Amino acid sequence: MLRVQAGDLEAFEQLVERYQRMVYGLALSMLRSPEDAEEAAQDAFVKLFRARDRYDRGRDLEPWLLRIAGNACRDLLRRRRAAALPSAAGGNPDDDPTAHLADPQSEQQEHQAGMQQLVRHELDRLSERVRLPLELKYLRGLTNQQIAAALGISVSNVKVLVAQAKDILQSRLERLFEA
Amino acid sequence: MSSHFEHQGSGAGREEPRRQPPNPADLRRHPPQGETCLRIRGLVRDYADDELEGPLRAAVELHVHDCRQCALALARAEHEVLWLRRVARAEPEPQLKRTFAADTVQRLLRDLGRETTSGLRLPPPAAAAETPPLQVAPRARTPRGHRVLFWSLLGAAMALLSAVGLFAGLGEMEQSNCLVAAHVLDVYDESGTLLRHGATLDVGSTVRTGRDGNGAFEFRDREQRRRGTLQLNGDTTLRLGESGPVLVQGSVEVDAREQMALALADGTRIELDGGRYYIDASDYRAHDGPLDGRLGNRPRVRVEVVAGEARIARNGTETELAVHSQQVASFGGFGPVDIAAVPSDAELSNRLFPGPRDVQPVPAEEHALVGEVFERLMGAPRPAAGAQVTSYFWRGNMRTTCVTQVDANGFFRVDPQYAFRSDFVVLLVQPPPGRSDLGWQFIDARPVLRTGGQPRLPEPLVLTPSMAIQGDVTDGEQAPLLGVRVVPCVVDELFGLLMPLVDSVSTDESGAFTLQQLPTSLGPHQQLGVLLLHPDRASRYCAIPLPGSLGARAGRLSLTMEALRQVQLQLPPGNRSVEVLEELVDAPAGTAVLSYRVQPAVTPVALACGRGRLWLRRGGALLPLRPATDPQFGSVYRPEEGGASVALRQPLCTMPGAGAFQLVPEFRHMHIEPAAGPPVQLAVVHEDSRRSEPRAQVFAVGTAADGQRTVRFLGLTDYAGELPAALLDSEHEVVAVGVGGGLAHRTVSDNAAGSTLLLQRCGTVLVGPALRPPQGSQHQLLAVRFEPAAGMAQAGPFVRHTTAAEGWIVDRLPPGDYTLQIGNRRLPVTVAADVQVELR
């Protein structure tokens, strides 16, 4: 990073190569579109380079980069939402864990197709607020601290949101099994 | 434990991160039983995520050991995580364009072009072209100048892959390898299947060694050329990725024939030249700790170069560090890599027992057996300094006993004066003096490993906390008995042997007693019991549940002793007193007897004794005393000339009247000397799956010239479930005990032929409602006594305890016919494999 701070683009390219998967994985979870994720990841690295003078050498680079990447994703989301008509008129799906249950028959087919797909399916149906920490933690393998840095929330909030996501997930899966 | 909770509570919301809240539905369905339960519920999810350390982690482990509800809550939390991780594994890896980094630089340049690029050093165009991202050939020697980029790329790739648990997901790696198991003991694949010699592991496979296990693997490249040998030690997990092996956890010894690479699960990459290396990542999971560096620089990974050169590229660093021969690199957390010279040969022995302690290695004596003893209370294991280890092993034609003390670093060394050549050792570990909170680790046989020529135990012995067992002794009318001597002991259900344990205690005026330091676990077919001895009551043996078990927590033990009976003995008259022996009721035949000195007379002599069978010792012979009706004296006991004395054998412990009581140690591995003659190749396999059973204990059972039954320990089966052993002519029966308690026995008729022993699966017995204790009664612990029919492998009766918490089910019973006794009820029952029989 010191070389990057000195304006060494070769070092910057190496830095991108080192962190690109982590940043891209984060962006993919947040944006759920490969194209958008790639764009946001590039945004993040460009912003990092532009802000290199503000980098505190005494601190880890990774949380800082994750925070920049999280902000880049949120910026892109805002731009996308501003460009598109609002479609999410339903409200918070977490208010009623069973409100968005799909047709039991199709759920049953998914269950037959495999428990993993079912869990993945229900995970996708969680609200963004709780899905994102859960997905980053278990699917992207980020630590609580990394998630907190990326989402701009506290570690405590990360834990609470992860637990809430698990509760909702478990509740929905139990309902499906009972059905 | 409470102090740890207080610490957590005071820190919550400020320094300590909050814990994941428990599932509210779970709390409703299974309400916590108290404040401790409630606190533990708040920790189980963090425990399942491996985010608890030190005392909190130990507190959860300790609590769930005793609390079924919280144990279930923890199981559910782990189940949640399991499914999420499975989803993660099934998730396709995010694909990123290979030119992403270069494109990003170009985009940056475009953006900056509108501003200024002055002061920037542009990358040379050739550099990016020469080293395309993630195109790495592990075998090719990378030019030194490019190695930084090479490793940083690998590090980044491995970091992401390890983070999502996809070590084998290096789809862009060109190398494809496989591992061939060469010698494995207690080694399993990811589905839990025991690996056999010659098994082939493909890319993506995971191998895991049990705590006692080890295994040697040939690491081959795509062209099936041997690249090196990996020796996995106990408790190690290794995953085979496309770019090479990934050490997930544990320790591995690498004998590299040529250059190869090995990765750690945190993204660290270790490139090895031809040579020998020892890599220990036993505390590896601690790497996934907080980012704020609180882990400090505690070394958690050691890379020791015995010969050759290793190059380490850690995830997150740009530097590739070379470790030369006779150097050791240690690193951990986010600290630097420390490279130092290997201090001395003595430390080589220490590496075999990586433990959480300051390293003060014991001097290694060549060919001396080295082992280690930990104690595990709260927090990390600590050396059990001062514990006493009694070792029994075979040397030449002699069985040798060696008593050693565990030193301050937790090491003990057996027989430093002679070469240790036995394949197994039988061990008994007593806690350090004054440590009444720890239980004994009872006698059992353990294999000895010889990697590097140094005999060693494959894993440390661990002393665990033992809860006190309390009980009351009353007479038949529920009146407390004062001064009853309660002697804890272990009984072998197979061979009827008895072994005393810790010091005996006596009941107080309320008839109460407390036993401490009892073992918390026993080997298969061993049971814990107590001898109840009192000069005015009928002494007896009584099986008791293990400390910490559900049965032990069902309440205080309630034991009774009946009154003595008066019998008339009609003995051959003589001038000298004779010895009359009385078997202890419920004790295995021939284990414990009471001894009385009786002066024969012309008329019958009266003797106050218990209800056990009586024997007369005359000279070296034992004659059974049988009741008879004498026309002159009425009911009398007389010696039966020619009566078989086999049932009593040589008594192991005697209590002469009201005098001293001495127990003679005896256990089933006691006789381990080899026999001369051609060896028989014994193989132990499971009856149903035909899977071999490593580490099965094999015994030869014969009959001595005096008719007594003899038991000889032949040894432990090897990784393939086989054991060459020589048998005596008189030994016709071989008994094998599997690790899980399965039992196999057969008659071996020919020493020259190989013999296969089939391990039988177990059955269960459900005690019906009519036979259970009344609901609401104080004692909800049911002792069920099984008396095997003649001809079964079990020599004597055994007792199982069950409670409502177990659903009144008695399980893991070897198939066969039994006479079952609950209280005063006796019922015949036939136990079959995998079948549950309900008693009505």
- Chain B, 27 to 46: residues with Cβ < 8 Å from chain A are 45-46
Residues in chain B closer than 8 A to A123 (CB atoms): 84, 87
- Chain A, 16 to 75: residues with Cβ < 8 Å from chain B are 16-22, 24-25, 28, 34, 37-38, 41-42, 45-46, 49, 60, 62-63
Q: Is residue B237 helix, strand or coil? A: strand
Q: In chain B, what is the straight-line distance between the N-terminal and C-terminal CA atoms, in Å?
A: 44
Task: Determine what percent of chain B is predicted with pLDDT higher than 70.
Answer: 73
Nearest residue of chain A to residue B50 (CA atoms):
A143
Q: Say yes or no to pLDDT of A179 above 60.
A: no
* Whole-angstrom distance, CA of residue B313 vs CA of residue B337: 10
Helices A34-50, B100-113: axis angle to 10 degrees equals 50
- For residues B74-86, give the mean pLDDT: 79
**Better-predicted residue by pLDDT, B25 or B411:** B411
Residues in chain A closer than 8 A to B86 (CB atoms): 115-116, 119
**Looking at the complex, does the CB of residue A13 fall below 8 Å from at least one CB of chain B?**
yes
* Whole-angstrom distance, CA of residue B77 vs CA of residue B287: 22
Q: What are phi and psi of A61, to 5 degrees?
A: -75, -35
How many beta-carbon pairs below 8 A join chains A and B? 173
Contacts of B331 by beta carbon, 8 Å cutoff, 6+ apart = B268, B299, B300, B301, B312, B314, B337, B338
Q: Is residue B832 helix, strand or coil? A: coil
Q: Which of B83, B130, B134, B268 to probe the A interface (max A CBs under 10 A)?
A: B83
Do residues B213 and B185 touch, judged by C-beta distance below 8 A?
A: yes
- Asked if the Cβ–Cβ distance from B105 to A12 is below 8 Å, we say yes
* Whole-angstrom distance, CA of residue A155 vs CA of residue B289: 13
Over the stretch B123-136, which tens digit does the pLDDT of each residue have?
544 333 332 222 22
B96: how many CB neighbours lie within 10 A of its CB? 21
Do residues B462 and B382 touch, judged by C-beta distance below 8 A?
A: no
Burial of B811 (0-12, 13-18, 19+ CB in 10 A): middle
What band does B347 get if pLDDT is binned at 50, 70 and 90? very low
Nearest residue of chain A to residue B20 (CA atoms):
A159
Q: β-pairing, B461-463 with B369-375?
A: parallel
**What was the ipTM of the complex prediction?**
0.73
Residues in chain A closer than 8 A to B96 (CB atoms): 20-21, 24, 38, 41
User: Nearest CB to B85: which of A19, A34, A138?
Assistant: A138
Residues in chain B closer than 8 A to A119 (CB atoms): 83-84, 86-87
Vertex B402: Cα angle to B370 and B409 (nearest 5): 40
**Looking at the complex, does the CB of residue B108 fall below 8 Å from at least one CB of chain A?**
yes
Q: Is residue B616 helix, strand or coil? A: strand
Task: Determine what percent of chain B is predicted with pLDDT higher than 90.
Answer: 8
Q: What are phi and psi of B668, to 5 degrees?
A: -75, -15
Please name the helix (run of DSSP H) or strand (run of DSSP E) that holds residue A27, with its range, or none: helix A9-31
What band does A145 get if pLDDT is binned at 50, 70 and 90? confident
What band does B471 get if pLDDT is binned at 50, 70 and 90? very high
- Asked if the Cβ–Cβ distance from B108 to A49 is below 8 Å, we say yes
Vertex B81: Cα angle to B80 and B83 (nearest 5): 70
- Asked if the Cβ–Cβ distance from B160 to A41 is below 8 Å, we say no
Q: In chain A, what is the straight-line distance between the N-terminal and C-terminal CA atoms, in Å?
A: 55
What band does B16 get if pLDDT is binned at 50, 70 and 90? very low
Closest CA to A115 of A162, A177, A70: A177
Over the stretch B390-422, which tens digit does the pLDDT of each residue have?
998 877 667 788 899 998 888 888 876 667 778
**Looking at the complex, does the CB of residue B789 fall below 8 Å from at least one CB of chain A?**
no
The whole-number pLDDT of residue B474 equals 94
pTM above 0.90, yes or no: no
Q: Which of A135-139, B339-343, B828-832 has the lowest mean pLDDT?
A: B339-343
Dihedral of the CA atoms B823, B827, B832, B834 (nearest 10)? Answer: -40
- Asked if the Cβ–Cβ distance from B96 to A38 is below 8 Å, we say yes
**Looking at the complex, does the CB of residue B92 fall below 8 Å from at least one CB of chain A?**
no
**Better-predicted residue by pLDDT, B109 or B564:** B564
What band does B510 get if pLDDT is binned at 50, 70 and 90? very high
Over the stretch A19-76, which tens digit does the pLDDT of each residue have?
888 888 888 888 878 888 888 888 888 888 888 777 777 677 788 888 888 888 888 8
Residues in chain B closer than 8 A to A21 (CB atoms): 94, 96, 156-157, 159-160
